Structure 1
Amino acid sequence: MASSSNNFHYHYDPNNDNLNQYFQEQFSNQFQAVEEESPVKRKPRTYIDRKREEGHERLWNDYFSDNPTYNAHQFRRWFRMNKPLFLRIVNRLSEEVPFFKPKRDATFWNGLLPLQQCTAAIRLLAYGAGSDSVDEYIRLAECTARKCLEHFVVGIVDLFGRIPTPTNTRGS
């Protein structure tokens, strides 16, 4: 069995103010030195012109135009609900939840339209995909997709109190 050759025994005395003060000063000095050595360096954001309008136009033509690319059966399979229910949800959110109201950004460009925002949220929920998975088709950034999802869920709970169905969205 190994035995310690160190017979040093230290007894901590919490009433030893000098020792406490010394350790507090050392801790403060070390903490301050670390803070000064490592300033917060933010990685500059790269602007990507996602051509949001083209994303909205593609979405509209694929699913919502008078002659859509994909039929009602495909819509239901991909969105996990029928198109009229989806459109009632989008309309209600865009009327009553400020996040989904169409707006312009600081440079007076149109922001994302409610149809794009809700489509992103529904797809993230329906497939359990990562928030960057909707960028190529719907044309919105990962952080924006995450915000859409958060506001969508809160909006649905606030407006409907549960998952919307054709019955509880009528007359809205």
Structure 2
Amino acid sequence: DHGMILAMHLNKKPKHGGSVVGRQKLWRDRIDAHNRLMRNYFAENTTYPESYFWRHFRMSIELFKRIAEKLASHDRFFQQRRNAAGELGHSTFQKVTAALLMLAYGIPADLVDDHLAMGENQAIMCVKRFAVGIVQVFGPEYLRAPNAEDTARLLEMNKARGFLDMLGSIDCMNWSWKNCPKAWHGRF
């Protein structure tokens, strides 16, 4: 009886977890990708100057580090951990970089794999968790309605730019665009 039960148990398919049958496991060298990212932008003698980082990410390295640190302390997802097989996962900087590249440049998730050794599903998860984390962490300070002091400052800034009594951004919906390309006519 025990032999029969053991044979039945061994022939059963797992209910959950593990590799998907038929799916090829790709070996992504996450650690090498992390080291390359660190050498390029965050090391003492970086490959690229800070101006290149600014041009690429539209923020300073210090701001990037602050965002990454806050997200990692807020959401465990952004912390580098080991997976079930004991392999070290993506670093905080890799996850934040993936999210920023996809959001800023609109690149597809599978393109992140080339630079950060990150699969499409993981890259999509980075964007989702990044968006939620940014709102939760920075929302109360930066995504709030303006107070009286903010309103006065915004009105003064916009007045200097020639936009009297304007608070927010302008969507250009009611402006004529003199040199609008023919292909875009009527779209904006």
Change (3 A) 1:163 1:66: farther
**Alpha-carbon distance between aligned partners in 2 of 1:130 and 1:43, rounded to the nearest angstrom:** 26
Residue 110 of structure 2 aligns to a residue whose secondary structure is coil
Once superposed, what is the RMSD of the aligned Cα atoms? Answer: 1.9
- What is the aligned partner in structure 2 of residue 57 from structure 1? 35
Q: Segments of 4+ in structure 1 off by > 2 A?
A: none
The match for 1:117 among 95, 106, 130 is 95
**Alpha-carbon distance between aligned partners in 2 of 1:131 and 1:114, rounded to the nearest angstrom:** 17
The match for 2:122 among 135, 144, 157 is 144
Number of residue pairs matched? 124
| 1:86 shift after superposition | 0.3
**Is 1:157–1:163's contact at 8 Å kept on the other side of the alignment?**
no
Relative to the length of structure 2, the TM-score reads 0.62
**Alpha-carbon distance between aligned partners in 1 of 2:33 and 2:107, rounded to the nearest angstrom:** 19
**1:128 correspondence with 2:106:** yes
Rg larger for: 1
Question: Which 5+ residue runs of structure 2 have no aligned equivalent?
Answer: 1-19, 143-188
Relative to the length of structure 1, the TM-score reads 0.68
Higher relative contact order (CA 8 A, sep 6+): 1
| 1:44 shift after superposition | 2.6
- What is the aligned partner in structure 2 of residue 101 from structure 1? 79
- What is the aligned partner in structure 1 of residue 153 from structure 2? none
Partner deviation per Cα, 1:71-118 (whole Å, 9 max, x = no partner): 111101111211100000001111111211221101111111111000
Percent of residue pairs identical: 38
The match for 1:48 among 5, 14, 26 is 26
**Alpha-carbon distance between aligned partners in 1 of 2:63 and 2:140, rounded to the nearest angstrom:** 14
Partner deviation per Cα, 1:147-170 (whole Å, 9 max, x = no partner): 001000100001001796xxxxxx
**Alpha-carbon distance between aligned partners in 2 of 1:56 and 1:111, rounded to the nearest angstrom:** 10
